[in-house]
Structure 1
């Protein structure tokens, strides 16, 4: 953003240049020099406000738990449940039960993670 790269020194230099130009041009150009300076300052302020609002709007778009935290908790729950469920499925249904269980767990995890991205 062009306005966000302005330094206070650059702004101060512009104000000083406008004042010098006003002195050189004479009192009949004071209004024009002042209007030009006000436009430049207004533009800089508007740009900074837009940037500030955009930053806060972007942060506020997703209220609640951040997606990374939710994914991490979901992964921990998934890992914690997968071990006992695998043992139960292997003991009752054998290899086929383990394969079906893991297919279901993977589908559930993928659907949950993709749902968090929305």
Structure 2
């Protein structure tokens, strides 16, 4: 057992002992108190997991926009597409333009597809 489960077991044992000492007339209050503590612990765990997942996305470069480049990548690729088109068209003609824009579209498609990939990692302490 880990420390969280030990602490939860101690709280439950304390609630049961308190119920034995005070009698049935306080049973509802004792149960409500235990459930309130359990609820606050669950809320804290959920908040911790959400912040860990958000931090992981930010570290991987996802930011708030989702994909690896976020919403900036399509804008930047279009802005860079103008001078790249000039160079590609000047040196390779129409085929240079086609290759240039296939590359730009490919980068944007890869970014869009990677942002929708589900995270299937599971933790051992999930319940």
- What is the aligned-residue RMSD (CA, Å)? 2.5
Pick one of 44, 48, 51 that aligns with 1:56. 48
Asked whether the 8 Å contact 1:67–1:117 carries over to 2, the reply is no
Decide which moves more: 40-49 or 80-89.
40-49
Between the two proteins, the alignment pairs up a number of residues equal to 90
5+ residue gaps, structure 1: 1-28
Greater helix content: 1
Higher RCO (CA-CA < 8 Å; seq separation 6+):
1
Q: Return the TM-score normalized by structure 2.
A: 0.57
Bigger-Rg structure (1/2): 1
Query: What do residues 14-60 of structure 1 show as CA deviations (whole Å, max 9, x unaligned)?
Result: xxxxxxxxxxxxxxx94222233111221122123312321331132
Q: Which residue is equivalent to 2:31?
A: 39
Q: 1-side partners of 2:25 and 2:80: how far apart?
A: 72
